[in-house]
């Protein structure tokens, strides 16, 4: 589903942030991306959700070489990847319901066609009774669950989460991890960047470890 081959990434011709990175994420897999601050995790995630393009190497997604794709084809590919940002990126003037529905509205769908789906997914993340609340009135854990609901409401085959438990308490972190595991059981390929070793060690999931821009160890991942 996602394949990196000898990928290198630098900004403005400077020192490479990623060096010769190669790995593959299979459909329906659950993988943790770990490593110290500055290792290149955020840059790797940006490449996965197509916010950046590599300076060298090959990235293939859904059987397509990203470098060979036309610029106009990229938005359609991005819609197949849900993203949970570390800083939530919710719109404060919209309700929880409206934030979750936003990707579907952008696609041009009518509210009649998506209302039931949005309400169902808000109930699934435990916020059915808070759907009319706006982000400033919600806790960090509630905001994170809204961000997850928004990322998966269009049922993308891939979900990428950047430090999803970084700003919430451990108990809520475990609850959110259960949501990710459930999504994975439903067939979603999930990639989670985290510093939380407790989450990684409590799971049997694959692990990709970055250090100084290179993958130096992996557990359960397929190597190229």
79 close to 102: Cβ distance less than 8 angstroms: no
Structure confidence at residue 177 (pLDDT): 84
23 close to 221: Cβ distance less than 8 angstroms: yes
Structure confidence at residue 37 (pLDDT): 86
CA-based diameter of the chain, in Å?
Answer: 50
* Residue 28 phi, psi dihedral angles, 5° rounding: 75, 15
Structure confidence at residue 220 (pLDDT): 47
Element (H, E) at 58: strand 56-61
Conformational region of residue 177, where left means phi above 0, alpha means psi within -120 to 50, and beta covers everything else: alpha
Structure confidence at residue 217 (pLDDT): 53
pTM: 0.89
Structure confidence at residue 224 (pLDDT): 35
Using 50 as the pLDDT threshold, list the residues of the chain that sit under it: 219-224
């Amino acid at each position: 589903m996602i394949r990196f081959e000898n990928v290198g990434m630098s900004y403005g011709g400077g020192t490479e942030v990623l060096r010769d990175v190669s790995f593959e994420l299979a459909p329906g897999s659950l993988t943790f991306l770990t490593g110290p601050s500055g290792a290149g995790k955020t840059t790797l995630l940006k490449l996965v959700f197509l916010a950046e393009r590599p300076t060298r190497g090959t990235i293939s997604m859904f059987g397509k070489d990203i470098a060979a794709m036309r610029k106009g084809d990229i938005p359609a590919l991005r819609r197949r990847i849900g993203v949970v940002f570390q800083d939530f990126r919710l719109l404060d003037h919209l309700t929880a319901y409206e934030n979750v529905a936003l990707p579907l509205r952008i696609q041009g769908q009518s509210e009649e066609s998506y209302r039931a789906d949005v309400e169902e997914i808000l109930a699934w993340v435990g916020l059915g009774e808070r759907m009319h609340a706006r982000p400033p009135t919600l806790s960090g854990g509630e905001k994170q669950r809204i961000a997850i609901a928004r990322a998966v409401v269009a049922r993308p085959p891939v979900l990428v989460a950047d430090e999803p438990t970084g700003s919430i308490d451990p108990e809520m972190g475990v609850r959110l991890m259960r949501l990710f595991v459930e999504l994975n059981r439903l067939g979603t390929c999930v990639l989670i960047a985290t510093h939380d070793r407790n989450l990684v060690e409590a799971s049997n999931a694959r692990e990709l470890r970055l250090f100084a821009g290179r993958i130096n160890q992996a557990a359960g991942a397929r190597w190229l």
